[in-house]
């Protein structure tokens, strides 16, 4: 008899190189004070040359596998959520499969920006519940530094590199499980946050190569407005379906884009700030990796205990949004 799907292990990896706000202020007109006040970010990690998204993903995955006690050879499904794949094709998940030695696994990528890890969680959960696969590895991994215009102060201060992973498997009786998930999309808002170039709509050519089209373009205020409403509604839908009251929730793990957005969400969900996990001061916005890294850190720091009810909520380019309510 099925008891749902549980998270058997988590892992994360952050590149060694730290880029502080002060470092940034040496090559764009900005200041630590502006960045901290507007976003809450103090520093971010930058992948080394030759350190690709798949390398970050593989390192996070090996940690998650070790914690789960499930060998790579027993993983049947790998989903990498990323908007900064090593290559357009093959999928980053294929490189990860090879690097971690999960040779039996079906491996593919999904693109849902910052909501990607929770999209992957929903897909993997459903595939496990259907009986198609037993053990799955879901990963959020990004090398956003490769797609940032380092001369544009309105975006370059926001992003960082990193990866997080989780191993999912069928839950045994008495174990925790993913209780409810929600994912959604609003394709009318594709223009407010995108990497407009480099794809088939606008391939990089010798003529446009200097125009930074394959870097982030964002209307920050528009994104901010949508983010708060969408995240609140999405989180509330899983909280309601899980039958939770605000006081039952021991930890909210929101997408790590901006401290002001996180505070606004906490306020609207009526969850006190000390039950909202924040690490964006260290890593900035790592898109699909952010919730995965935060989940692993919260877990390893002892902030998540057996039986705890946690809620994760994200939004990103698309626009996309996603939530999950979990009993650990
Ligand atoms: N340093 C100093 N000044 C700056 C900087 C900077 N790094 N960036 C912008 N400014 C200036 C602007 O030029 C502007 O100056 P002006 O008034 O003279 O024109 C002023 O600061 C205010 O700029 P705004 O963009 O209006 O600032 P705002 O308060 O909206 O903050 C921010 C900008 C932080 C981007 C905010 O809008 C935000 O966080 N939005 C949400 C963005 C987000 O979460 N995106 C991630 C989505 S994730 C994904 O899918 C990849």
User: Is 299 among the catalytic positions?
Assistant: no
Question: Rounded to two decimals, what is the model's pTM?
Answer: 0.96
Give per-residue pLDDT as tens, 295-308.
999 999 999 999 99
Give per-residue pLDDT as tens, 126-156.
999 999 999 999 999 999 999 999 999 999 9
Q: Where are the chain's structural domains?
A: 5-174, 178-327
| Residue 247 φ/ψ, nearest 5 degrees | -75, -15
Superfamily of domain covering 5-174? Thiolase/Chalcone synthase (3.40.47.10)
Residue 15 pLDDT: 98
> Which ligand 1 atom is at minimum distance from the Cα of 255?
48
Q: Which residues pair with 30 in a beta bridge?
A: none
Give per-residue pLDDT as tens, 41-66.
999 999 999 999 999 999 999 999 99
User: Is 135 among the catalytic positions?
Assistant: no
What average pLDDT does this structure show over 13-40? 97
Tell me the angle at which helices 53-68 and 92-100 cross, rounded to the nearest 10 degrees: 50
From the list 52, 114, 258, 299, the catalytic residue is 114
Q: For 113-153, give the DSSP string.
A: GGGHHHHHHHHHHHHHHTTS-S-EEEEEEEEGGGG--TT-H
Ligand 1 centre to CA of 1 (Å) is: 51
To test the ligand 1 pocket, which listed residue (20, 115, 220) has its Cβ within 8 A of the most ligand atoms? 220
User: Is 3 among the catalytic positions?
Assistant: no
From the list 52, 156, 226, 255, the catalytic residue is 255
Same fold, 5-174 and 178-327: yes
Which range among 8-17, 91-100, 194-203, 288-297 shows the weakest confidence by mean pLDDT? 194-203
Superfamily of domain covering 178-327? Thiolase/Chalcone synthase (3.40.47.10)
Q: Which residues pair with 181 in a beta bridge?
A: 324
């Amino acid at each position: 008899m099925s008891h749902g799907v549980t998270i058997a292990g988590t892992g994360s990896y952050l590149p060694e190189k730290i880029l502080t706000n002060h470092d940034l202020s040496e090559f764009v007109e900005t200041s630590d004070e502006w960045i901290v006040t507007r976003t809450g970010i103090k520093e971010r990690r930058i992948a080394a040359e030759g350190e690709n998204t798949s390398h970050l993903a593989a390192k996070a995955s090996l940690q998650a596998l070790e914690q789960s006690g499930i060998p790579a050879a027993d993983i049947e499904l790998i989903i990498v959520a990323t908007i900064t794949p090593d290559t357009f094709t093959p999928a980053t998940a294929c490189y990860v499969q090879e690097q971690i030695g999960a040779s039996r696994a079906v491996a593919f990528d999904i693109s849902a920006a910052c909501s990607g890890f929770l999209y992957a969680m929903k897909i993997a959960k459903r595939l496990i519940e259907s009986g198609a696969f037993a053990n799955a590895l879901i990963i959020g991994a990004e090398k956003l530094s490769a797609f940032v215009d380092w001369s544009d102060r309105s975006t370059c201060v926001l992003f960082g590199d990193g990866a997080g992973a989780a191993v999912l498997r069928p839950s045994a009786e008495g174990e925790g499980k993913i209780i409810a998930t929600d994912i959604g999309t609003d394709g009318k808002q594709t223009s407010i946050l995108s990497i407009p170039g480099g794809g088939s709509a606008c391939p990089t050519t010798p003529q446009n190569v200097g125009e930074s089209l394959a870097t982030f373009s964002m209307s920050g205020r528009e994104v901010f407005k949508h983010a708060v409403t969408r995240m609140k509604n999405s989180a509330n839908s899983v909280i309601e379906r899980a039958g939770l009251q605000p006081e039952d929730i021991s930890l909210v793990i929101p997408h790590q884009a901006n401290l002001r957005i996180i505070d606004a969400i906490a306020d609207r969900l009526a969850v006190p700030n000390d039950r909202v996990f924040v690490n964006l001061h260290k890593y900035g916005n790592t898109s699909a990796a952010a919730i995965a890294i935060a989940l692993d850190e919260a877990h390893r720091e002892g902030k998540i205990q057996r039986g705890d009810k946690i809620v994760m909520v994200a939004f990103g380019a698309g626009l996309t949004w996603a939530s999950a309510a979990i009993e650990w």
